[in-house]
Amino acid sequence: TRVLLTGGSGFIAAHTLDILLEHGHSVVTTVRTQEKADKIKESYKSYVDKGQLGFAIVPDIAQPEAFEKAVVSDPPFEAVLHTASPFHFNVTDVQKDLIDPAVIGTTGILKSIKKSAPSVRSVVITSSFAAIVDGSKGFWPGHAYSEEDWNPMTQEQAQENPMMGYRASKTFAERAAWEFVKKEQPNFSISTINPPMVFGPIVHPLDSLESMNTSNQRILSAAQGKFKDEIPPSGVHLWVDVRDVALAHVAALEKPEAANKRFFVTAGYFSNREMCQIIKKNFPEFKDLPSDSTAGGDYPEGTPDKGLYSYNNKRSVDILEQFVQFYYKTFDDNRPGLASLYKEN
């Protein structure tokens, strides 16, 4: 399949690119600068040489016409994976820095596909658990989150702080995508992948440790000894391996049953405290890790079985299952997932 992948320089997109190429798809990926394209090229020289990987420069997805040129290719695209969206809390203006690129990026690419890429049949959008979770319910014991849930956040709440702004950006962008399909009845289906905290190995080019993507930053902070005196709250208590998220994106475009569905992809629970314990066990050379008596970072009642929402990921396991090779399915048996991640990397 001929695929357009947006945001190829990102943490999740880089893994997705790997899998698309391994599965034999022909890919054009968008990045913001030629320099970023050149860096990716270095790692994929053989694919570039045989014409299986190309690049398009899209500097700012917040521009409504950003994707006008990128969606047109020869041979034409049959599928689009839209992953690009800001995920950081380093913002001065929630609307301009987070919500606009998320919402305009998503509606802009859908409009451009409808207008200029009639051969596209399937569009997969990286949404988030942020578009599912209802923060006002706190730990919501007794509730099982699933694709049925929608974050009820309003424009006003979005402005409260960057974290709320990020959750809103994902919620509004996903909502806008489903509304577009309903109203415009395009020739293509959409699917959304809604992961909670994504952890895992880095395969994209990193300029410095400080430019580590947002979700992996806490692992870095823990390893650097920043949680020694107190472990910060975990925020969301659900996670998924980045390689499973990438596989889910590719599965969603390969499997016709995935059309017009949301997919809540999670491997299960985690806490910052568990994360620190796992690092400690597997990397005794890190000396400044929290000790058993360090406060914080735990589940609300010390265990995920009590006082905390649960999850229902049946749809993604059923429909995307055959592609899920890493920790997704095994996590619930003895919970080896997060631990094996640290061991391998």
Please report whether residue 124 would count as binding ligand NDP according to CB under 6 A: no
User: How many of the chain's residues bind ligand NDP (CB under 6 A)?
Assistant: 26
Please report whether residue 71 would count as binding ligand NDP according to CB under 6 A: no
Please report whether residue 5 would count as binding ligand NDP according to CB under 6 A: no
If phi over 0 gives left and psi between -120 and 50 gives alpha, with beta otherwise, what is residue 146? beta
Window of 19-27, 109-117, 195-203, 256-264 that interacts with ligand NDP by CB under 6 A? 195-203
Alpha helices in the chain (DSSP H): 11-22, 34-43, 45-49, 94, 100-116, 155-158, 162-184, 217-223, 242-254, 272-282, 314-320, 337-344
Residue type, 338: L
Distances (CA, A) of 244 to 266, 302, 304: 9, 27, 22
Please report whether residue 170 would count as binding ligand NDP according to CB under 6 A: yes
Enumerate residues 209-248 that contact ligand NDP by CB under 6 A: 213, 215
* Residue 255, token pair as written in the block: 């499997």
Peptide bond into 75 cis (omega under 30): yes
Residue nearest to ligand NDP (CB): 10
Residue type, 160: E
Residue closer to ligand NDP (CB basis): 85 or 189: 85
CB 309 within 8 A of CB 245: no
**100-116 and 162-184 helices, crossing angle to 10°:** 20
Work out how close the CB of 284 gets to ligand NDP at its nearest, in angstroms, rounded to a whole number: 28
Window of 77-85, 220-228, 264-272, 331-339 that interacts with ligand NDP by CB under 6 A? 77-85
Please report whether residue 4 would count as binding ligand NDP according to CB under 6 A: no
Work out how close the CB of 80 gets to ligand NDP at its nearest, in angstroms, rounded to a whole number: 14
Query: Which of 4, 12, 94, 117: binder of ligand NDP (CB under 6 A)?
Result: 12
Work out how close the CB of 87 gets to ligand NDP at its nearest, in angstroms, rounded to a whole number: 4
User: Rule CB under 6 A: which residues touch ligand NDP?
Assistant: 7, 9-13, 32, 36, 58, 60-62, 83-87, 101, 126, 128, 170, 195, 197-198, 213, 215
